[in-house]
Chains A and B, each alone.
Chain A
Amino acid sequence: MSEHVVVAPLVVALVTAILTLGTRRYPRGQRAVSLLGIGAYAVAVLALASRVVPLGVLTGSGGTTETLTYQVSNWPAPFGISLVADALSAFMLVLAVAVVVPALVFSALYVEEFAQRVSYHSLFHFMLAGVTGAFLTGDIFNLFVWFEVMLMPSYVLVVFYGRAEHTRAALQYTVLNLLGSAVMLVAIGGIYATVGTLNMADIARRLAHAGEFGIDPAPVLGLGAILFAVFALKAGIVPFQFWVPAAYRAAPAPIAAVMAGVTKKVGIYAIIRLLFTVFGTATVGGGLAPARIAEGLGFGMAGKSFLGLFGPVLFLMAIGSILLGGLGAVSRNDLDDILAYSSIGQVGFIVLALALAATGPQAVRTAGLIAALVYSLNHAIAKSALFLISGTVYEAVGSIRFDALGGLSTRRPILASSFFLGGIALVGIPPLTGFFGKLLVFDTAGKAIVAGEPFAGVALIVALAGAVLTIAYVSRAWNRAFWGSPSDPVTRSYQPTALVAVVAAFVLLVAVLGIGFDPVYRAAEAAAHAATDRTEYVEAVAPEVIG
Chain B
Amino acid sequence: MSSEPRPTDGDTTVIARTITRVVVPIIMLVAIALLLQGHNLPGGGFIAGVLTVTGFALIYVIYGLRYVEQELLHRTVVPRSLPISEGAAETDVDPPIIKEFGEIFTVGLALAAASGIVAMALGFPFLSQGVWFLAGVPLYGHMEVASALAFDLGVYLVVVGGLLTILAVVGAE
Contact = CB atoms under 8 A, between A and B. Distances in A.
Interface of A: 2, 4, 7, 10-11, 14-15, 18, 21-22, 24, 70-74
Contacts of A15: 113, 117
A14 B117 CA distance: 11
Contacts of A10: 126
Contacts of B117: 11, 15
A74 B124 contact: yes
Interface of B: 102, 105-106, 109-110, 113, 116-117, 120, 123-129
B127 A18 contact: no
B126 A11 contact: yes
B113 to A, nearest CB: 6
A18 B109 contact: yes
15 contacts: A2-B120, A2-B124, A4-B120, A4-B125, A7-B120, A10-B126, A14-B113, A18-B113, A22-B106, A24-B102, A70-B125, A70-B126, A72-B127, A74-B124, A74-B125
B110 A18 contact: yes
Contacts of B109: 18, 21
Pick the 3 closest A-B CB pairs, nearest first: A74-B128, A73-B127, A21-B106
B110 A2 contact: no
A352 B135 CA distance: 65
Contacts of B105: 21
A24 B106 CA distance: 10
Contacts of A72: 125-127
A7 B124 CA distance: 12
Contacts of B128: 73-74
Nearest to B109: A18
B24 to A, nearest CB: 29
Nearest to B151: A73
A73 B106 CA distance: 23
Contacts of A7: 120, 125-126
Contact of A22 (B110, B120, B127): B110
B110 A71 contact: no
B123 to A, nearest CB: 7
A73 B129 contact: yes
Given A4-B120, A15-B117, 14 more contacts: A2-B124, A7-B120, A7-B126, A11-B120, A18-B106, A18-B110, A21-B109, A70-B126, A72-B125, A72-B126, A73-B125, A73-B127, A73-B128, A74-B124
Nearest to B127: A73
A162 B166 CA distance: 18
Contacts of B124: 2, 74
A4 B121 CA distance: 10
Contacts of B106: 18, 21-22
B155 to A, nearest CB: 14
A8 to B, nearest CB: 9
Contacts of B120: 2, 4, 7, 11
A154 to B, nearest CB: 18
Contacts of B123: 2
Nearest to B124: A74
B113 A71 contact: no
A95 B124 CA distance: 29
**A7, A11, A18, A22 pick with most chain B CB within 10 angstroms:** A18
B101 to A, nearest CB: 13
A11 B112 CA distance: 12
Contacts of A4: 120, 125-126
Contacts of A14: 113
A171 to B, nearest CB: 17
A292 to B, nearest CB: 47
A139 to B, nearest CB: 14
A445 B124 CA distance: 48
A10 B106 CA distance: 18
A542 to B, nearest CB: 15
Contacts of A70: 125-126
Nearest to A70: B125
Contacts of A2: 120, 123-125
A350 B102 CA distance: 42
